[in-house]
A and B are shown apart, each in its own frame.
Chain A
């Protein structure tokens, strides 16, 4: 029996197989079929035949579905009327609220994120302040772009040899011979003069001399005096405010008379304010250059092109090109000296501070290398902080997943979510910025001792700098937010809302890579610190071959030089004084050389550059230099001051002399003498250099430094009594001394600074990385609370659980260490090569770095895991 309804139901089912047939559409087609069926029945067909006919008239399910499908595609291609606007201001408040809520709800993580970023930002900001300061050197000069220093390039004669010291006539000659040179000045000094005003007298190492053009070229602000006329009188002097206060206190200094070296007077004509200026040219007192010619070196040197002792600065026309002038300067010196093949080169004033490494250069130079090292370290620390942020945010992403799902369901698209999360990370970074600005205030004094600078919080009244800091914070926010934003916004709402998303958050591999990156950096910095301090302690403790302990030295210039003998006698009367001697240069860094000496049996073509110092009796004894052969200079031999030489073993080796060396003929310049002693090789130079051939010769007129060696048991008492003796002798010079040991340490001050910097940055890096690790450990412990509970119930011990949780971190840190080792090895190996005498890079340094890295990391992680392992399993298991 044919059942129409049943057949229709069956037919409808065949339609339902096709997705496009929504219920309404099926009803449409069903009524069509019924109409067709009724028509067929009226036409006289029996029930079943009428139904078949109607079905064939309506068409197959496939063909109808295909038609509907076309419509659906058209529909999908059209803009959905529900599409949200690009920017919905109404949501901003919601975003801020959500961000603040998630910061508040996860106080611990937010603290770690924000404080890490704050420390990183503060470190970066310090470096920015420092770099800005380094770059600002000499740029206060209005004409900085037109000012050049002239230097000699002697590479034609000797390899890579340059000198900034030029002769007195050069400045005027350049101005005369080249129209583009509009101003020129000499700048220099001659010994350290003694300056006296009434009862006050000081040695003035900062006394400089320059030509009147100086004030047109440079922009040192004159507080008193007229730049046009301050130098009209050759016997005038311009003081800095500080120096003026030192001599005259509150009195008006203008017109006052100062006495120099107790021989001539100068009148104060101007006061300069230079305390806050970053200038390569430093001075406390400035007098016309004429004084040097008239009072010190003699007028005969006015046109002496060989008297290379002063710097020359020129200012070019604004339109002139330094390159053109440099070309014209090639061969220029021949005009004044036929044999002078040296090249003259112009060096921009603004290059002097950071990019100059010329012979006899100014002392307060910076080093572009340090700018780089500082900058890279700061960026690394900030990177570690950013990594913390990425890691913790993505690890905890499961907490935000529902929010993401819901936002997507109600119409948020991915770009909107990305913007939301970027907004959050930027907000965090701005919080961090505020904290960092406070930190900066706190860290500045510390940093100043590290960097040897006097930086102040200049950002307060420097809008550009403040904007820069804000920019830095924004960049940090965007960078650290990039991965979390992309990651969180990629969640599929279906999976989140169905609950099929894993709660472990981001791709754990990526997180591991980030942690490994952090710890590689930390371990690298630890190794760097260890190797630098080892090298420094090696330098401090190496047996130099002479004794530098308990020795002070005093300058014996000017009139003091003539009184040296008398001072010596008086000092030696003091029972605590062991020796008194003198020499030309400090024994910690003897660099002077008379060129190639002559010796007995010298092959005609032999060349050997020898370093030399001129010394007094008792020199060998004072510094406890051991002699391998012969004797020291002695008063018993009348010829010693004239013809005696003491050489070191290296010189003997290089000269190829056979034993006995003593008695062999030796000499340089036109002194013909003999070797009276051979001393053991000792480090009279920086340990960056190999021990060079060295010779000591007596030469009383050239003694410039006096050394006093005394007993170690009563240092301050001895010094006080020496000072008393000094004053009693009424020498007219202040008692100014320095310990030789200080000078020795000064040789390595740049390495010591590097060590301190590495130490602080390593500490910062390890600290921030541990902050992140702490957060990550607590996250993982929290995630595995149930597992830990079950393990405990089943009998696991606290120690066992801690070990279980720590194992994973241990693996990461071990991987990080393995990565850091080779990088650190190659970097530090390259650094240590600049020392001729160096501590070996030993394996234990690497092992220790690993131990420190692992130790600190495990301590951090264990703080968390221990808490998780100790928790009562009942608490974690009773929920749900």
Chain B
């Protein structure tokens, strides 16, 4: 089970990562996260939109309404230039954290 804090901290980079592969809409983003994480990351659907709104306010993503195949309008999100930069720096941060964590978690060598 992933803690609430870690979940909250990872939401924005994950959304940016998904959108960096191409435009997408809300429900699909949730499904993709679920699939990719093998069910470990399961978001409350309703929380997504406030996050998306906030990211849009911060100019990380942009949105527009489009008619999808099912003849229902959907809001499609795309990543902006600023969003890409943010994603790159987030990746570095996460990698650094991951490296530090894995190194520390190795068995401690016995003292000579």
Contact = CB atoms under 8 A, between A and B. Distances in A.
A58 B26 CA distance: 12
Contact of B45 (A57, A68, A71, A74): A57
A25 B27 CA distance: 14
Interface in B43-65: 44-51, 53-54, 57
A320 to B, nearest CB: 77
B29 to A, nearest CB: 10
Contacts of A620: none
A34 B26 CA distance: 12
B48 A31 contact: no
A35 B44 CA distance: 14
Contacts of A29: 46, 49
B54 A71 contact: yes
B53 A32 contact: no
B45 to A, nearest CB: 4
A63 interface: yes
A75 B48 CA distance: 18
A36 interface: yes
B47 A64 contact: yes
A701 interface: no
Given A31-B27, A67-B50, A74-B54, A36 B45 contact: yes
Contacts of B53: 25, 68, 71
Nearest to B44: A59
B47 A63 contact: yes
B84 interface: no
B51 A59 contact: no
B27 A28 contact: no
Given A28-B49, A70-B50, A35 B27 contact: yes
B57 A67 contact: no
B45 A58 contact: yes
B72 to A, nearest CB: 6
A218 B37 CA distance: 104
Nearest to B51: A67
Nearest to A38: B70
A33 B72 CA distance: 13
A407 B22 CA distance: 47
Contact of B44 (A28, A34, A63): A63
B72 A71 contact: no
B39 to A, nearest CB: 14
A138 B73 CA distance: 94
B52 to A, nearest CB: 8
B75 interface: yes
Contact of B46 (A31, A34, A59, A71): A59
A216 to B, nearest CB: 84
A821 B8 CA distance: 76
Contacts of B50: 64, 67-68, 70-71
B46 A74 contact: no
B44, B50, B51, B75: which has the most chain A beta carbons within 10 Å?
Answer: B50
Given A35-B27, A36-B27, A75-B57, A25 B49 contact: yes
A63 B51 CA distance: 13
B49 A32 contact: yes
A139 B37 CA distance: 96
Query: Which of B46, B47, B48 has most A Cβ within 10 Å?
Result: B46
Given A36-B27, A71-B50, A74-B57, A59 B45 contact: yes
Contact of B74 (A25, A31, A59, A70): A31
A28 B47 contact: no
A71 B27 contact: no
Nearest to A28: B49
Interface string A4-35: 00000000000000000000010011011111
Contacts of B47: 59, 63-64, 67
Nearest to B49: A28
Given A35-B26, A64-B50, 20 more contacts: A28-B49, A31-B72, A31-B73, A31-B75, A32-B49, A36-B27, A57-B45, A59-B45, A59-B46, A63-B47, A64-B46, A67-B46, A67-B47, A67-B50, A67-B51, A68-B53, A71-B50, A71-B54, A71-B57, A75-B57
16 contacts: A25-B53, A28-B75, A31-B74, A31-B75, A32-B27, A32-B48, A35-B27, A59-B46, A59-B47, A63-B46, A63-B47, A64-B49, A67-B51, A70-B50, A71-B54, A71-B57
Listed from nearest, the 6 A-B pairs whose CB atoms lie closest are: A59-B46, A67-B50, A35-B27, A64-B46, A59-B44, A58-B45
